Each structure stands twice: as C-alpha cells, then as structure tokens.
Amino acid sequence: MSDDNGTQEIPAGSAPGPRPEPIRFFGTTWVDHDNGYPARRIGAAIGSLAAVVGSCLVLRFAFQGLQIADIGSFVTLLMVVMFAICSALAFRHTWEGFTKRADPDRQASLRGLLAIGFVGSLLAYFFRSLFEAPGEKLHREEYDTARKQFEKRTTRRTGNPSKKRRRS
C-alpha cells in the first residue's frame, strides 16, 4: 500500500525491511512455499504444457494451409526451419531470464523472435515449473541479498564509541 506521495506504508503486524517481489501466478508464496504453492506449480506446469499442445495444433493448421496453397516444399521447409530456430532461441532466452535480469534494450530487440518462437518460451516455462516457480531462484537471491543488507544497516553498535578506552 502507498500513500499520495508514493511512499510505502508498513501494514500492522508485518516486519519492516525489504519485501519479496511477487512472481506471476505465484504472488509471494514462493518465499515460504505456503498458501497453495505446490498446487500453483502443478497448475503452471499443466497450463504451460496445455498451451504448448494447443499452439502446436495451431501451427499444424498453419502448415496445412501452406500445403493447401501449394506454395512448394522449399517455402514449407523454410517455415519449419524458421519456427524451429526461433523456438530454440526463445527457449534459451526464456530459460536464462529465470536466472538473471534481462536487459530491457535486448528484450525489446528480441520481441519479434520471441513472438515467433513462442513454443520454446512455453516449453521453458513448463520445464522450469517442474523444479520451482519460474524466476524463483533469481527473486530469492535478490530478496536474500536485500534482507542481509537491511540487517547489516540496522544492527546496533553497543556502547558509545567516544567513551571507548584507547590502548596505550
């Protein structure tokens, strides 16, 4: 929650400090693996696999349309190769995006490739959701680092340093 100035309010009963960043479909359940986290992971895996199957059926209809149009085997082969390469590149890019933050400029330049290779992105999401919430490792590292820095900043010194005895 934030006020008119955009500053964060701390809800009653919660500890001050850094807040975990929510992950799509998982919210902040990835922190403690509570509130239906396993069911959400299963749902994400099944949903992404169903999306892969559905998109492959759509691609099959598209290729059948190319065959009906009788444009030739060379163009059909070119389309198959294009989708295979774009899907492989999209898989790799999506998989790497789960472990490190993507550069926004690079992301914008790859938008077309990722759109063509959407099957690869969906497969990466499926395989990652078998092990963890997609992006959980990255978010956990950032959250743990932020918590350690917060604790380091808020630890109190004992005593007054000006009254400390000097060794002679």
Q: Is residue 120 a contact partner of residue 55, using CB atoms and an 8 Å limit?
A: no
Is the C-alpha dihedral spanning 138, 139, 142, 143 positive or negative? Answer: negative
Question: How many CA atoms within 13 Å lie on the side-chain side of 53?
Answer: 6
Q: Is residue 86 a contact partner of residue 110, using CB atoms and an 8 Å limit?
A: no
Residue 162: DSSP 8-state: G
What is the pLDDT, as a whole number, of residue 153? 82
CA nearest neighbour of 118 among 137, 91, 100, 144: 91
What is the pLDDT, as a whole number, of residue 126? 96
Q: Measured between alpha carbons, how far is 140 from 132 in angstroms, rounded to an integer?
A: 11
What is the pLDDT, as a whole number, of residue 161? 66
What is the pLDDT, as a whole number, of residue 14? 58
Q: Measured between alpha carbons, how far is 43 from 136 in angstroms, rounded to an integer?
A: 16
Spell out the residues 6+ positions from residue 29 whose beta carbon is closer than 8 angstroms to its own.
35, 36, 37, 40, 133
pLDDT in tens, the chain (168 residues): 444 444 444 444 456 788 999 988 888 888 888 889 999 999 999 999 999 999 999 999 988 888 888 888 898 889 999 999 999 999 999 999 998 888 889 889 989 999 999 999 999 999 999 999 999 999 999 999 999 988 888 776 666 667 666 666
Alpha helices in the chain (DSSP H): 37-69, 73-97, 104-109, 111-116, 118-131, 136-154
With vertex at residue 80, the alpha carbon angle to CA 78 and CA 85, rounded to the nearest 5 degrees, is 95
Question: How many residues can be counted in the chain?
Answer: 168
* This prediction's pTM: 0.77
Q: Is residue 91 a contact partner of residue 120, using CB atoms and an 8 Å limit?
A: yes
What is the pLDDT, as a whole number, of residue 15? 67
